[in-house]
Chain A
């Protein structure tokens, strides 16, 4: 079974502080992992995917198959990073996505 776990419902940090949003997954095959972000009153949008291995808006995420994790990191949080972040997994079944519960990131000034 495919499962995505985001243990934190809310993460609150100060501006300029490092951020790490945790994501662990369960999947028997080779998954593809994504981070989606939803800013206030906006639609869900792709932030990054592990196969791209790129940094978007200063965020990075590395797939760790040994720990089955795909944590999202940013060295210095900005107020505009405040949003809901969803980790998602896609297996081989038609590329459907399984979402984690989401983590609200609040960056305080």
Chain B
């Protein structure tokens, strides 16, 4: 149980395009989902907390207009990297916390984003 599906697993696109990444909790509901970014050989850095039915909470230094987050249902959050540039190339990972109780986060497989 507690499976998080992240799609796509890899994206390669031209500079200036927008890319949408989906994060789904397959067998549980998640009021809260999280988006992380991981640079090569570095740890996961939290970008934002996605709250179902309300605005996301962004970490300091993360551009809200660059990284659009939508959490329209209890099983789906999306991250859209708008007008992507090469410096946005990274590994993006989502996680989801099951609603109710003090439960830990479950992670997706991550999305490798490469901007040419």
Contacts and interface: CB of A to CB of B under 8 A. Distances in A.
A106 interface: no
A58 B110 CA distance: 28
A99 B109 CA distance: 17
In the complex, which of the residues B45, B104, B110 has the most CB atoms of chain A within 10 Å of its own CB atom? B104
B49 A96 contact: yes
B60 to A, nearest CB: 11
Sorting the interface of chain A by its residue count into under 10, 10 to 19, 20 to 34 or 35 or more gives 10 to 19
A36 B46 CA distance: 15
Given A97-B44, A101-B43, 16 more contacts: A36-B107, A43-B107, A43-B108, A45-B106, A46-B105, A46-B106, A94-B57, A95-B97, A96-B49, A97-B46, A97-B105, A98-B46, A99-B43, A99-B44, A99-B45, A100-B43
A102 B42 CA distance: 8
Contacts, number: 43
Interface of B: 4, 32, 34, 42-46, 49, 57, 93, 95, 97, 102, 104-110
Interface string A33-69: 0101000000111100101000000000000000000
A89 to B, nearest CB: 12
Given A44-B107, A46-B104, A94 B44 contact: no
B104 A49 contact: yes
B97 to A, nearest CB: 6
Contacts of A97: 34, 44, 46, 95, 105
Contacts of A34: 104
A72 to B, nearest CB: 16
B47 to A, nearest CB: 10
